[in-house]
Amino acid sequence: MRYLGLIPLLMLLLCGAARASVPSQPTLVVAIVVDQYSADLFSEYRALYKDGLATLARGVVFPRGYQSHAGTETCPGHSTILTGMRPAHTGIISNEWLDPRRSRQEGGAQTFSWPCVKELDEHGVLVVSPKTLLVPTLGDRLRALDSNSRTVAIAGKDRAAVVLGGKAAYLTLWWVPGKGFVTYANATVDAGMQGKVDGVNRKVETAYQSAQPPKLPKQCEARTRAVAIGDKHSVGEVHEIAAKSERWRATPVLDTLTLEMAKAAIDTLQLGKRKAVDVLAVSFSATDYVGHYFGTEGPEMCAQQFALDATIKDLLSHLNRTGVSYVVALTADHGGLDIPERNSVRGMPAANRLEASLSPDKVGEEVAKEFHLSGSVLLGSYFANDVFLAPSIESKLRPAILDAVRRRYAGDAQVARVFMRDELLTAEPPSGPPDQWTLFERAKASFNPQRSGDLVVLLKPS
Ligand SMILES: [Zn+2]
């Protein structure tokens, strides 16, 4: 599925202080991210929200917000939220990019893979790290001003927690299947908090070992309609989800457990109650997994929206009970399109999944044949916007090969535009209203000279 960039919304609410006659300065900034929560979803369900999302919707709402950069994925999207910078500056150009200058061995094979929040440690082992984030987060800035300030970032995904928290976060926690919520290998967690983490993780483990029963709110029933994906699989009907399965993540329980961990951190670390401004960043991941596995317009997403509404209510109620004056914002890292199979049923004949022939290894092999070379002229096998020419290609051949790759991608019906590294490198940064930016300007907002590819390939939305 391709992400749609034109979407995340922002809701802001001043709580605690807002109820007092003389508002006090907030001592806690709460940033909630709902992964893949498009403004389309918000508009669709807004009238049905009764709990936390209804409360936030009574604050300041920007219902047609969107991400203006090109690579609207989880890691770059989250990197923009608490830094105020686009991926060109955060350096987080995609969920995973390749670094042709840093080859390494994995499982006996040479690879250049470089996930967005991972670095090699001194033993050559890939570990989760905030080092790839090139700019400070809000928490980093507060910490630089006041060493007493604490930032806590908690998410269902490592990349979400890491780039929301930043390098100076007091505590960064993310969920790992079978392990529960974990932090950096070299992090120190104070004993009281570690005890709480262990306690929540026992609940996480019990839940992960349990099948998730189907729950379908009455308002979602009319959405039930099976849609086939290939010969063996269908979505559109809510079923029990097996314990320890990949789809376990696509049930509300992942958000519920993320919330449990956030509540434990709020209480144990006394967020907002010390002489400093603290930051709590929580990214709820289940909406994204529901979108990926089941699409955005079925009963599965409907059930998730009701569960999310309750989860946000639980978080706000907990914050209110602390008596802390806090400001809360809710936004998304990117949006999402419905599955092409259902879009097709609904009269969008162009809706389709990405052709496997567009993967860089396939295109790279095609072009290699043109030049009588063996193997692939491109790195990697997973399609991402950034496409890298193999470092082994000799320099005198590179311009002609790059042009052949450009023509191959540009001529494909699923490709919107292809841009060359050199044209992006020399272009002025975009300015003016971002909603009027061209695809080239959006690509420039995602272009980082040290990390971006030799070509940037942007797909058509479908
Ligand atoms: Zn995401």
- What distance in angstroms lies between residue 377's CA and the mean position of ligand 1's atoms? 30
Which pLDDT band, with edges at 50, 70 and 90, does 4 fall under? very low
- What distance in angstroms lies between residue 312's CA and the mean position of ligand 1's atoms? 18
> pLDDT for 387-435, tens place per residue?
999 999 999 999 999 999 999 999 999 999 999 999 999 999 999 998 8
Instruction: Check residue 6 and give its pLDDT.
Output: 36
How many angstroms from the chain centroid is the CA of residue 288?
A: 8
- What distance in angstroms lies between residue 74's CA and the mean position of ligand 1's atoms? 3
Specify whether 74 is catalytic: yes
SS in 3 state form for 42-99?
HHHHHHHCCCHHHHHHCCEEECCCCCCCCCCCHHHHHHHHCCCCCHHHHCCCCCEEEC
Copy the structure tokens of residue 207.
């839940």
Q: Quick check: helix, strand or coil at residue 164?
A: helix
Which DSSP category does 385 fall into?
Answer: S
| C-beta neighbour count of 449 within 10 angstroms | 9
How many angstroms from the chain centroid is the CA of residue 192?
A: 30
Percent of the chain at pLDDT exceeding 90: 82
Instruction: Check residue 3 and give its pLDDT.
Output: 41
Which pLDDT band, with edges at 50, 70 and 90, does 9 fall under? low
> pLDDT for 294-338, tens place per residue?
999 999 999 999 999 999 999 999 999 999 999 999 999 999 999
Computed over every residue of the chain, the mean pLDDT equals 92
Which CATH number, 3.40.720.10, 3.90.45.10, 3.40.50.2000, 3.90.340.10, labels domain 10-92+133-345?
Answer: 3.40.720.10
Q: State the CATH class of domain 356-459.
A: alpha beta
More confident residue, 11 or 41: 41
Burial class (CB in 10 A: 0-12, 13-18, 19+), 151: buried
- What distance in angstroms lies between residue 154's CA and the mean position of ligand 1's atoms? 14
Q: Using CA atoms in the order 414, 387, 109, 369, what is the torsion angle rounded to 10 degrees?
A: 70
CA 367 to CA 361: how far, in whole Å?
Answer: 10
Exactly one of 74, 83, 151, 256 is catalytic; which is it?
Answer: 74
Instruction: Check residue 12 and give its pLDDT.
Output: 65
- What distance in angstroms lies between residue 183's CA and the mean position of ligand 1's atoms? 20
Are the CB atoms for 274 and 175 separated by under 8 Å? Answer: no
- What distance in angstroms lies between residue 336's CA and the mean position of ligand 1's atoms? 9
> pLDDT for 330-347, tens place per residue?
999 999 999 999 999 999
Q: Quick check: helix, strand or coil at residue 158?
A: helix
- What distance in angstroms lies between residue 69's CA and the mean position of ligand 1's atoms? 14
- What distance in angstroms lies between residue 346's CA and the mean position of ligand 1's atoms? 25
Q: Measure Cα distances from 209 to 158, 243, 269 in Å.
A: 21, 5, 29
The torsion angles phi and psi of 370, rounded to 5 degrees, stand at -55, -35
Q: What is the mean pLDDT of residues 33-60?
A: 96
- What distance in angstroms lies between residue 71's CA and the mean position of ligand 1's atoms? 11
Q: Measure Cα distances from 359 to 137, 281, 367 in Å.
A: 34, 35, 12
pLDDT of 195 strictly over 70: yes
Are the CB atoms for 379 and 401 separated by under 8 Å? Answer: no
Which pLDDT band, with edges at 50, 70 and 90, does 24 fall under? confident
Instruction: Check residue 72 and give its pLDDT.
Output: 92
CA 381 to CA 369: how far, in whole Å?
Answer: 17
Instruction: Check residue 182 and give its pLDDT.
Output: 98
Q: Measure Cα distances from 105 to 123, 125, 126, 132, 359 in Å.
A: 13, 10, 11, 20, 22
Q: What is the mean pLDDT of residues 361-380?
A: 96
Comparing 23-32, 147-156, 169-178, 386-395, the range with the smallest average pLDDT is 23-32
CA 20 to CA 284: how far, in whole Å?
Answer: 30
Domain with CATH 3.40.720.10 in the chain: 10-92+133-345
Which pLDDT band, with edges at 50, 70 and 90, does 109 fall under? confident
- What distance in angstroms lies between residue 386's CA and the mean position of ligand 1's atoms? 18
- What distance in angstroms lies between residue 454's CA and the mean position of ligand 1's atoms? 25
- What distance in angstroms lies between residue 387's CA and the mean position of ligand 1's atoms? 21
First to last CA, the chain: 9
- Measured over the CA atoms of residue 149, residue 26, residue 271 and residue 50, the dihedral's sign is negative
CA 366 to CA 359: how far, in whole Å?
Answer: 11
Q: What is the mean pLDDT of residues 354-377?
A: 96
- What distance in angstroms lies between residue 365's CA and the mean position of ligand 1's atoms? 31
Instruction: Check residue 20 and give its pLDDT.
Output: 44
Which among 286, 330, 315 has a CA at the least distance from the CA of 65?
330
Which pLDDT band, with edges at 50, 70 and 90, does 180 fall under? very high
pTM of the model: 0.94
| Angle between helix 74-81 and 158-165 (nearest 10) | 20
CA 434 to CA 445: how far, in whole Å?
Answer: 10
Q: Measure Cα distances from 65 to 68, 333, 435 in Å.
A: 9, 11, 9
Domain with CATH 3.30.1360.150 in the chain: 356-459
Q: Could you tell me how many residues make up the chain?
A: 462
